Structure 1
């Protein structure tokens, strides 16, 4: 009789645990999605300090979203927090070396700082990443590199 109860209870516990996990992740996804939308709206309204706060909150909930990190870097950059923006873009490169957008953003920053050689390095890395997936964009980067090397 005890064995029969265990054979019934264990599967019920597993099912309840699985459903609880699904509900938790669905809730977390919904919260993240809503916050991301709010951050995007604030960014588009040029409310960069509040967009920054929201994007930081999203990254604290979901640390794997590199698009949010890029937008956080953009929000920081718009506020003149250049070093912090650079850190965010470098985090994206470390986490996802195939994210050409991070290389391009860093290149732009270094061009503005008149650090041409560093900017060129990031452009070359962006070109390499784009070569396979977006050859047209890679060609644009190549043309820019040619102009910079003249």
Structure 2
């Protein structure tokens, strides 16, 4: 029994298209990974402008990556762009309300802006999330920090 030649051609086209799509996504993932690694290396080398450019490139290629947004916020904070860093951290919290690191980073910039009450709220949220995630050491450190902030507040 002979196969229909049109069916064979369609099957071949589907396979070729599937391979092309897979190749595209593999290439895109490799490019994103390279920019991310470059951003991390530049951040560690304190080349914040270069790191910012690399992280922005990653976000332009993959807009759903919240980890990169956190790193970009850190870079912006290091460059004194606290308002933009604050907005990035708030955006991550809005997109991913269970991201404890976002609350922690937001609390850090709020402390820099002397917004102690809001910082404490975010620290408490981070602590609660770390406890739920069974990251008890991090939760304990935040609890100690909250105790120190509260004792300084009561001294004033």
Range into which the TM-score falls when normalised by the shorter chain: over 0.9
1:147 paired with 2:148, answer: yes
1:97 paired with 2:97, answer: yes
1:135 is displaced (CA, Å) by: 1.6
Q: Which residue of 1 aligns with 2:62?
A: 62
In structure 1, how many angstroms separate the alpha carbons of the residues matched to 2:145 and 2:114? 15
1:81 is displaced (CA, Å) by: 0.5
1:40 is displaced (CA, Å) by: 1.2
Question: What stretches of structure 2 of length at least 5 have no aligned partner?
Answer: 152-156
Q: Which residue of 2 aligns with 1:15?
A: 15
Question: What stretches of structure 1 of length at least 5 have no aligned partner?
Answer: none
Structure 1 vs Structure 2 CA RMSD? 1.4
- TM norm structure 1: 0.92
In structure 1, how many angstroms separate the alpha carbons of the residues matched to 2:128 and 2:77? 25
1:5 is displaced (CA, Å) by: 2.2
Mean alpha-carbon deviation: is it higher for 40-49 or for 91-100? 91-100
In structure 2, how many angstroms separate the alpha carbons of the residues matched to 1:144 and 1:39? 30
Residues 13-47 of structure 1 show CA distances to partners (whole Å, capped at 9, x for unaligned) of: 21111101110000001101111111111111111
